[in-house]
Structures are given as structure tokens and as C-alpha cells.
Homo-oligomer: A and B are copies of this chain.
Amino acid sequence: MVITHPSNATYLYVGLEFDTLSDIKASLNLVETTGFDFFLIPLAKTRQSSKEDESGGNSGELSFEPSVSSDLELCGNIWNSVVLGNLCCKLNGELELPQLESYFNQQLSWAQHLNLRQSFVVAHVHSTEEEHVALANMVCNALYEFPRESVCIRVCIDDQLSRSHSENHEVPQSSYMDSWNIWNLYQQCCHHHSNLSVALECVNTVYPSPSLTFLQQWLSEPVRYFILDTKIFLKNRQGFPVLSKSFQDLLQKFLPLSVDIIIRGEALHPNGYSSYLQYLGYLYSKQPILEESYRIEMPYFDYLQTPLQPLSDHLDSQTYETFEKDPVKYCKYEEALIRCFEDRRGLRVPLVVMVLGAGRGPLVNASIRASQRVGIVVRIYAIEKNPHAVWTLKSIQQKDASWERVEIIAEDMRTWNAPEQADVIVSELLGSFGDNELSPECLDAAQRLLLSDGICIPCEYTSYLCPLSSPKLYQEIRSLSYQRDGNGFSSFEVPYVVRIHHGQYLAESQSCFRFEHRIHNCLLSQKSYPHFRYQRLSFEVNGPIMLHGFAGFFEAQLYDPIYLSTRPLTLSRGMFSWFPFMFPLCYPIYCGDKTSRVTLHIWRKTIPGKRIWYEWMLTEPVRTKLHNAHGRCYSMNCF
């Protein structure tokens, strides 16, 4: 009985944990009748004292015995879809590390035999750093020994939550590592292994609202489960289990990250566990209805894409279709064109409009609609170098009478020999990082098409950057790390386009590269490298947090005051044509307890007529190498 959101078509999976196991069929029956989706069992039979083990005669080897008599107790598809395993891994000092590791591996080997989809390891908050290092070492080894197995680290966040309330005040520091720091140790030790995730466990009754630091740290981590003890539930007036308001809020922040919930502890309500399940179902249904654009983007969450290169590669039909559906972008263009046409009404008849990179015609349509709205006559040139899209344009022209004054030009805008100059050139050449689809190069080469008082839409655009924490994306990039040759080609020296979901922006974005396309731009003519850019950006980041790279956005001025923006602060809401850009760093950088200054240097390098690329490096809080030096891992072709 999967909990479904009535409007969002999203699901919440809830499981039940059994601390001990006497009859797995009875457990399965309870789980199924109550409506849980899965359950957790201990993998090993509960051990008696270690003395017993020794007398077992296996010369100090800890003898593993499964918690069930054999794999025949359940059928295969139940094991691999409904049962998850808890690994016993207490470091109690009595036993040597290799014995424990062997015992640990025997459990995981058993889990692999059963095809369980997840095993859990408890990282005790009261363990010392050295104990965590020992356990993290075992986990890391196991991930390589059992490459099909997924391991989830359970950390109790009670301490961190209760401490975070008094954050920024001088509180007596606990001698224990906080829960995020513990998890971070496992993650760093295992080098962000893609089979490693984390479960947040809550045992205490009362929580204050979580701090911003808490959310910043955890919302970007690969959190797979929330484990809720029945003790943390309060009773409402009818005696049913409910969660405190602040805890509800916390949970609502994590539910969109596709976490599953696990209930543990005794059912404290006469109806048993079903009342907990009902409450969670109610809570889940209260989640806000997802915006249409969010729903469209969901399949792309944290999915790394290589930035498009529409100048050198022809876009395909599917890509055109997706972009044409944007409900905001073309409205903004139409609005900009209306204002532009109004300002130029009567200057010339007809007004000459050139659509540079017309694609399958959306900006041609916007131009036609705008001219009709303003009531002026326009002659439209639709310039498109992709021969496949030109077929579309010609086909539309034959069917659509409003296209009678459109002339279709199958040429590259940079070399087209125009019969006349334009009043307005309009284009949609921007990429996720503004200039990264080579709009500056194309539009400056097309300035000769414009009358001396002509208008370019967009007339300027600026890219923005902010520091990004995203262990999840680092994990993804690491698993991509294909190595082309001995020169160290690396997936960490390539920018990506990605709908960042598990990630946190660590500071307000700052402007990076600005390009302007206004006639008689005197600066332009003096520069021999008009499209080279360099920027140094300094951010203040509140730690402790790991920095994994930078997220990129842009703002474009179409025609004052009409803007497009992908920048969080000034976002054009509902517009989905652009996901953020991302510049990764070759290894995660720790930003400490206090505020850290993060200084990024970034270059837009060009070999005119050949290729353009970005290079980036940090100088604070530590210096890194120059990423993508000489564009050796990634560059954009001009031809």
C-alpha cells in the first residue's frame, strides 16, 4: 500500500524495522497486513556473549549465523523487494578489527546472496573518531568487495538538532562529533562512492526547528531514509500519533528528496502501526501541489548533461520541441518585441526583422504576433543554418498565411550576405551560462546586418556564479570519471548542465561575464579579443560544509525593461528552458566551522575562429590547480 500524493503522482514508501527476528513469515505478514512497503531485519542471529563464540572452537573467528534458518523462508522476489538488512558492527574492544571485518563481510555476503537491495550500518554518535575511522574503513572495503551492494549509514540526528537550536551562541561543545561530521567522515573515506547513502534517525521526543546550517548540510547529501522512532510521535486529542509542528516542517523539506521513511520501536497506539502509517499518509497528502514546471523537471533531477553546442552540432527535433514548450520565454520575447516595435513605429515601413537562428520558428511567430498587436508591417528574415529545421520553416510557411512576409534563409548568420540591413535582430542563442553557446561570437559577427540605429534583442546578458555544495553531484561526476588518456582528462574539469536537486547554494550568486550587443559600442571596436573574459569572485561561506563546485546562471536583458533570468534571486518563474550550469572542483574542499572566504578565478578563453573554453581555479580557502587548462577537457567549437 504505497502512499501516493493525490495530485503530484509521487510516492512515499514506508518501512518497519524489527530489532530482533523470531519468525520472519509472521513479520512479513504483519508488514503486509499493516500496509508497510518493506521491512528491516537484522542479518545475523543475535550473538550471545563473546565467550560463547570463543568456545565455538573457531580459533577466535566470529561465527556468523543468519537471522533466518535459510533463504527458503521467503521467496526470491520478497527478499529483493521487501526486505532490507541491518548489519551488526559493534566495535566493543573485545574483538580484533579483522575479526569484526570478517563478521561484517559475512553479513554483507549473506545480504548479497539474498539480493537485498539495501544494508544498514549504524554509526553511533557516541563513538570516537577512531572508531568511526575503523568502521568507515570496513564499509569502504566492503563497497569494493561487494560492488553490487548498497550500504546506508544510519546516523542519529537528535544531538545535532537539539544543539543547532542554540547555534551561534557559545554553548559548551560536546566531545562527540556531530552527526553531519560523522557522516562526512564515512563519505570522505569512501570517496563519495555511489553505493553509499545515509539514513537520518530520530529517537528523541521533542525537537526545536532545525537550523539553517542543519538544512544546508543535509539537504545536499544523499539522504535515502528517515528513521523515526515511535517515541518521537506525540498524541493528538484523539490519542492518535502525530508529529510536532517543527518536525513536520523538517520532514516536508526532505520528502521532495525521495526519502523513504522507516518506523522503529514499539507501536504505542492501540491500533498498532497502522495509525502511524495513516498519519504519514495524511502528512504526505498535505505536501504542496507541485508546479507543472517542477513536475516536468523531475526526471532531470541531478542528471548531468554535457552542455549543448548548437553552433557546431545541429539540434534534433526532440530538443526543439522541448524548448518550444517553455510557457514563459516566448511571452517575454513577444513583450520585448512589442515594446521595441512601438518605439520604432513609423521609423521605417516595413520594419525589417531578422530572426538569427530561427530554429523551427517560435521567434518568427513571436515577431508576427507582436507586429499584429502593435499594428505595424514587418518584413521578417528567418535565418537558420540547420537544414533539417529549414524544412520545418518552409513547411510552416506553406500552411500559415501569417508567414507571407517571412523570407527563409538557409545560411550561417555570420557569413550571410544580406540584401538589406535590419531594424531589429532577435535571437535565442543563450545557454545555461549565458554565453556558453557562443552567442557573443555569433551576434557580434552579425552586427553588420543591423542598421546603425538598429536594435539587438537580447541587448545584453550576464552570467552569475555561486558556490555549490552537492555531495550527490560529486558522486555522480566521480562515477563518470572516464579517463581518456594519460594526461589526466577528467570528468571534474568539464562543466555540466544539471537540474540541481540534492545541492545547496552557499552564497548569493555574483555576476561573472557580461556581454553587450549595442550598436556603436566603442569599447568593442578597440578590443582585439572582445570575447575574452576574466573574473575573480569572492564569497563568504558559512561552514562546516563541503564545497564541490559552482552553480552558474544568467540574466538577459531582451529590451528594457524585459528580462529573462535563471538566477535564483531574479528568477523568471515557470521558465524551464535552462537548467543551471555547474563547474565542478577536482576534489571536495572543506569550509570550516567559521565563515570561510572562497575565491574563484574564472576565464573565458578564446582562439578566435576555432574554439572557446572556460578555465577555473580557487585561491581561497585553498589553492587548486587550473581546471580545464587550455581547454584540454572541454571546449566549444566555433565552426
Contact = CB atoms under 8 A, between A and B. Distances in A.
A629 B624 CA distance: 25
A605 B140 CA distance: 13
Interface stretch (A37-45, A129-137, A348-356, A450-458): A129-137
Given A137-B615, A483-B483, A632-B144, A532 B626 contact: no
A617 B143 CA distance: 17
Interface string A605-631: 110000000010101001111100110
B626 A191 contact: yes
Contact of A623 (B97, B145, B188): B188
A405 interface: no
Contact of A483 (B129, B486, B617): B486
B630 A141 contact: yes
Contacts of A615: 137, 141
Nearest to A59: B528
Given A59-B528, A96-B527, A528-B96, A189 B625 contact: yes
Contact of A532 (B98, B189, B534): B98
A601 interface: yes
A81 interface: no
A482 B478 contact: no
Interface residues of A, number: 55
A29 B359 CA distance: 68
B60 A189 contact: no
A536 interface: yes
Interface string A468-484: 00000000001001110
Given A98-B606, A606-B98, A130 B626 contact: no
Contact of A129 (B133, B603, B619): B619
Nearest to A592: B622
Given A590-B622, A622-B590, A617 B189 contact: yes
Nearest to A603: B137
Nearest to A526: B60
A416 interface: no
A39 B333 CA distance: 64
Interface string A125-154: 000011001101100110111000000000
5 contacts: A60-B527, A60-B528, A98-B532, A98-B606, A191-B629
Interface of A: 59-61, 96-99, 129-130, 133-134, 136-137, 140-141, 143-145, 184-185, 188-191, 478, 481-483, 486, 488, 526-529, 532, 534, 536, 586-587, 590, 601, 603, 605-606, 615, 617, 619, 622-626, 629-630, 632
Given A481-B486, A483-B483, 13 more contacts: A97-B532, A98-B529, A98-B532, A99-B529, A130-B536, A144-B632, A188-B623, A188-B625, A189-B626, A190-B625, A190-B626, A478-B488, A590-B622
The 10 A-B residue pairs whose C-beta atoms are closest, nearest first, are: A98-B529, A191-B625, A483-B483, A144-B630, A60-B528, A98-B532, A188-B623, A141-B630, A140-B629, A140-B626
